[in-house]
């Protein structure tokens, strides 16, 4: 499946200040989001499935892939476009086996070794970071900086999306270091005007590519 990592937004109910996720996602897509990840580690699984189906009703008509964080079973149940797994989650190879060859499997990587392993196991893209310091993910680890991102870029051939502390101001650094796009939580869903926040980052990415 073809996909565009330019602006990959990741949901977070707390950062979104409990505003309806459907409204936030729709606004982000209007602002230029090219991929959406449903990430919800706290709510009951039944609620996550229901939320995923509602988000698919928004992302599908917009032509924007919906990726489910961690849960390949949820991705399959709702007919999502793919799954994203971390180093401690379902192995990439198993996620690929479950989802088949036509859906997207993304993987997190903070080191060259993790990136090389994920690519070898069949990941379609890598979420690399944390590139900059972030408070959005408690398990993000130490920031690797644009230099660390560039090292991973040189070690693999699959597309990379930079994650961790991304803003409109520093997104160009990630693109120049080799990322195809940026993944954002707080800078979009924590904004008062989600559409405008997404637009600013999408434009920063576009300008950096040019």
Active site residues: 39, 108, 137
Contact between 83 and 37 (Cβ < 8 Å): no
Contacts of 161 (CB under 8 A, 6+ apart): 5, 8, 106, 125, 126, 127, 128, 179, 180, 181, 182, 183
DSSP bridge pairs for 35: 8
Q: What sign results for the dihedral spanned by CA atoms 99, 43, 89, 135?
A: positive
Neighbours of 158 (CB within 10 A): 16
Please state the three-class secondary structure of 22-63 as a single string: HHHHHHHHHHCCCEEEECCCCCCHHHHHHHHHHHHHHHHHHC
């Amino acid at each position: 499946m073809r996909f565009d990592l330019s602006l990959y937004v990741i949901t977070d109910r707390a950062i979104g200040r409990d505003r309806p996720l459907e409204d936030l996602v729709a606004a982000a897509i209007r602002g230029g989001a090219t991929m959406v990840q449903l990430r919800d580690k706290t709510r009951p699984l039944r609620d996550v499935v229901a939320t995923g189906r509602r988000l698919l009703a928004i992302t599908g008509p917009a032509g924007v892939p919906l990726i489910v964080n961690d849960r390949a079973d949820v991705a399959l149940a709702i007919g999502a476009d793919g799954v994203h797994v971390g180093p401690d989650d379902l192995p990439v190879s198993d996620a690929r086996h479950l989802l088949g060859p036509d859906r997207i499997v993304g993987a997190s990587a903070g080191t060259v070794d993790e990136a090389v392993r994920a690519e070898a196991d069949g990941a379609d893209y890598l979420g690399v970071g944390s590139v900059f310091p972030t408070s959005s993910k408690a398990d993000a680890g130490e920031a690797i900086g644009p230099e660390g991102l560039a090292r991973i870029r040189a070690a693999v051939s699959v597309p990379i999306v930079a994650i961790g502390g991304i803003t409109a101001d520093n997104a160009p650094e990630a693109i120049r270091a080799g990322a195809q796009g940026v993944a954002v939580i707080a800078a979009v869903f924590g904004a008062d005007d989600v559409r405008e926040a997404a637009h600013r980052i999408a434009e920063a990415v576009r300008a950096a590519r040019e």
